Structure 1
Amino acid sequence: MGTKYLLKGGRLIDGKGNTLENSALYIEDDKISKVGKADELTVANDVTVIDITGKTVMPGFIDAHMHLIGVKNLNLAQAALEPTELLMGRALKDLDKLINAGFTTIRDVGSPVAVHIKRLIKEGYYTGPRIHTAHLMLSQTAGHGDIHNLPPEFNLFEVCDGPDECRKAARKQFRAGADFIKISSSGGVLSEKDDPRSPQFTVEEIKAIVYEAEAVGSYVASHAQSTQGIKNALIAGVRTIEHGILIDDEGIEMMLERGAILVPTLSIVKRIVEQGHLYGVPEFGLAKSRYFYKLHKQNVRKAYQAGVKIAGATDFLGCKPVEHGGNAEEYEIFVNELGLSPMEAITCGTQNAADALAIGDKTGSLEEGKLADVIVVNGNPLDDITVLLNTDNIEKVFVEGQLLKDR
């Protein structure tokens, strides 16, 4: 017989912008079986009843863009020279940190080890959040994912040029167990010799990758910071735009027309600007972060106000100053620096993020029939979003009905 829980008496935030006071949420096996008022919902007798009066029950958080990669610092050239076993060992330690913070699903957008960690969780050797991984990010030669200051054979990611190479590179990621494909259609901040304003990959190259993803029922996410790189990705059929720093009015309109989702990842840039100099971030990364952060926030705010769906994500890598466990900081930025309401920020980190991963029909909200990815919070984040940043306030965490944190 499976596990059954009744979370009773708390405030319920459903992940879609709705609340219910004095709620009851019935978890049966791996699914949410019933949702309703505590004094109206009836369940069987063989249920573990948990009184959460005065607390808040919510969907588990989803970080829609992060790296489960186990690096020691933000200098990826150093990580590329380390044995994969070291990266794996450090990354495994991040699983508990993510659960402790209430993250029940993560989308790894580039890591040589996440695909293996996902398998270890599936086999029952470890517990942790649900993992969706791109395995190795795809980059053009001299692109954002090509570690420029090392010989090519040391790259952490997959470098490909021309539609045929791009097609094969995409197929290789799915062969390795990737859930989706991540590409770079522009330069970046933490890559040495390219510029966020530069487009990368041609439309034809991106179309070849998108075709391969859609052929197996998947999709493509694109690191896209330049104005033209964003548009090229959208023309080619990319599902999610990662970062979107220099999106313009035309790019916003294209996103709306195509139903694309913007994943801004403001947290990493804020932390680099504020603390990066203390933790060995190269000067080129510090300079680019300082230059683009204000503009990034302005353009994301404009896109959101125009109706573009945005998803909560951090781009954290698990090392100082971007350790996993503080991933809810993105929601505070949404509220305090973009002007979203706490409810809007929570929706970005739950249902919107699930939609970005193409799993919005399975998780992201507290609805009957969805997977029981549920957290219980001490406090009311609708009054103070920073309640979610203190992991001590995340009292219970369920992943598919399995209680992984209980305090």
Structure 2
Amino acid sequence: MKMAFVGRIIDGTGKAPFDGVVLIDGEKIERVGLIGEVEIPPKTKTIKVNSGTILPGLIDCHVHLMGERTLDFMKSAFEPSELKSVRAAMDCSKLLDAGYTSVRDVGGLGIYLKRAIEEGEIKGPRILSAFKILSQTGGHGDMHSLPLDVAARVGFSRLCDGADDCRKAAREQFREGADFIKICTTGGVLSERDLPTSAQFTLDEIRAIVEEAQRVGSFVAAHAEGAEGIKNAIRAGVKTIEHGDFIDDEGIKLMLENGNILIPTFSIGERIISEGEKYKVPEWGIKKMHQLWKVQSENFKKAKRAGVKIAAGTDFGGGPLTPLGENAQELELLVREGLTPMEAIVAATKTASEALNMKDKVGTLEAGKFADLIVVEGDPLSDISTLRKTENIKVVVKEGKIEKHLRSNKITIS
């Protein structure tokens, strides 16, 4: 069936808004152009957006579909996996309702959730999943407070040491259905016994993982906060740098030379600092976040000025502190950190699609791509926070199917 959306369009490429038509045929976009230039065939279902904005479906490049409801890790580690699965399924519905038609699950249950979505059992965004996070023993993905054998059993990481074991761990994730690999090349904030500045994994270990991903046409995303761990990841061939708090001038130069994408995840830091104590984030985690918050802001601005590609990601995993469905907070924070509203939208659409390895399929409203789009009440270029309010997302289309349509006298269907 053909559909046409008519109204003010922000197409995700970064060019100025225009009054136009998005013509959809089945699951793909057939044509996008100015009103009067695109002929709408007879019997086409036409949605006229009299007030509001048509945009590409939003993309979050860094979520954890784990069904978590607390960052008290001792509590969450021993909750039943079945309970977490039900919660994660509900989180998928919240994401779609908020206008997110694609996400990268950088450690979580996404390999199972995407199957349920594809089968039509639950509603949710398109999911690319890394399944288990690869971490060295004692690294950021290890649960330091637990005995090693218990941590390996209840955690959501695969601990691996040495190039051969790392290679095997990568193969295991692809065997289970992973779309890409997530690794930790530095310590982090929410890992008790390491520091964000500490490098983890050797170059040989990282290269082994990258090689395995490249063999199957995939890529590696790296949790990387410290300068040396960032540079090790880039030199070994990693595609995206998650967080990047302590990136230095050499790291920025390497990112520009290699075309890496930075995903700063400001939202998790903002939430931990403002409400972490209320929601039982460990004291040591809150302390570390305070120590790097200003540094991350300064280094991000430096990377942005240099021309490093930026994609949007929240590091949200569900629950009251990091609620999936409020992911557009990241766009607000990107604007606060120096991006224009248009640049923030591009970070959550066009550049985000590159981080998914899907730039030819999603991310912009262009002919031949999947018909993923949203209709937003208001103008996000005037007020980027418009995108954060779920009630403002009036229509959500994923692969040509209307997944959400709220009644509005400003949107007419004929």
One fold, TM greater than 0.5?
yes
Return the alpha-carbon distance in structure 1 between the equivalents of residues 231 and 74 of structure 2.
Answer: 29
Measure how far apart 1:80 and its partner are: 2.2
Letter in 2 for 1:120: A
- Answering whether residue 350 of structure 2 is matched by residue 351 of structure 1, we say yes
What pairs with 1:1-400 in structure 2 (closer than 5 Å)?
A: 3-8=1-6, 10-111=7-108, 113-152=109-148, 153-336=153-336, 338-400=337-399
Contact 1:22 1:53 in 2 (8 A): no
Letter in 2 for 1:4: K
Return the alpha-carbon distance in structure 1 between the equivalents of residues 331 and 399 of structure 2.
Answer: 24
Letter in 1 for 2:134: L
Return the alpha-carbon distance in structure 2 between the equivalents of residues 373 and 244 of structure 1.
Answer: 29
Letter in 2 for 1:394: I
Contact 2:135 2:158 in 1 (8 A): yes
**Which residue is 2:409 aligned to?**
none
Measure how far apart 1:209 and its partner are: 0.2
Measure how far apart 1:84 and its partner are: 1.3
Aligned length: 402
Return the alpha-carbon distance in structure 2 between the equivalents of residues 33 and 72 of structure 1.
Answer: 41
Measure how far apart 1:39 and its partner are: 2.2
Contact 1:66 1:316 in 2 (8 A): yes
Return the alpha-carbon distance in structure 2 between the equivalents of residues 210 and 321 of structure 1.
Answer: 33
The one-character-per-residue Cα deviations of 1:299-349 (angstroms, maximum 9, x if unpaired) are 11110110000100000010121111110011111112x111100010001
Secondary structure in structure 1 of the residue aligned to 2:187:
coil
Measure how far apart 1:298 and its partner are: 1.0
Secondary structure in structure 1 of the residue aligned to 2:175:
helix
Letter in 1 for 2:254: M
Measure how far apart 1:53 and its partner are: 1.9
Return the alpha-carbon distance in structure 2 between the equivalents of residues 157 and 220 of structure 1.
Answer: 15
Secondary structure in structure 1 of the residue aligned to 2:381:
coil
Return the alpha-carbon distance in structure 1 between the equivalents of residues 36 and 207 of structure 2.
Answer: 54
Return the alpha-carbon distance in structure 2 between the equivalents of residues 399 and 280 of structure 1.
Answer: 36
Return the alpha-carbon distance in structure 2 between the equivalents of residues 19 and 98 of structure 1.
Answer: 27
Return the alpha-carbon distance in structure 2 between the equivalents of residues 77 and 365 of structure 1.
Answer: 41
Return the alpha-carbon distance in structure 2 between the equivalents of residues 353 and 20 of structure 1.
Answer: 19
The one-character-per-residue Cα deviations of 1:152-206 (angstroms, maximum 9, x if unpaired) are 3332210000000000000000000000000000000011111101000000000
Measure how far apart 1:123 and its partner are: 1.4
Letter in 1 for 2:58: F
Return the alpha-carbon distance in structure 2 between the equivalents of residues 208 and 11 of structure 1.
Answer: 47
Secondary structure in structure 2 of the residue aligned to 1:253:
helix
Contact 2:93 2:122 in 1 (8 A): no
Letter in 2 for 1:65: H
Return the alpha-carbon distance in structure 2 between the equivalents of residues 400 and 172 of structure 1.
Answer: 30
Measure how far apart 1:384 and its partner are: 1.1
Return the alpha-carbon distance in structure 1 between the equivalents of residues 252 and 193 of structure 2.
Answer: 28
Measure how far apart 1:390 and its partner are: 1.1
What CA RMSD, in Å, does the superposition of the two structures yield over aligned residues? 1.0
Return the alpha-carbon distance in structure 2 between the equivalents of residues 340 and 116 of structure 1.
Answer: 35
Secondary structure in structure 2 of the residue aligned to 1:222:
strand
What TM-score, normalized to structure 2? 0.96
**Which residue is 2:403 aligned to?**
404
Letter in 1 for 2:2: K
Q: Which moved more, 1:21-30 or 1:262-271?
A: 21-30
* Identity between Structure 1 and Structure 2 (%): 50
Secondary structure in structure 2 of the residue aligned to 1:277:
coil
Structure 2: segments with no counterpart, 5+ residues: 407-414
Letter in 2 for 1:179: D
Secondary structure in structure 1 of the residue aligned to 2:242:
strand
Return the alpha-carbon distance in structure 1 between the equivalents of residues 55 and 272 of structure 2.
Answer: 30
What TM-score, normalized to structure 1? 0.97
Secondary structure in structure 2 of the residue aligned to 1:22:
strand
Return the alpha-carbon distance in structure 1 between the equivalents of residues 240 and 129 of structure 2.
Answer: 14
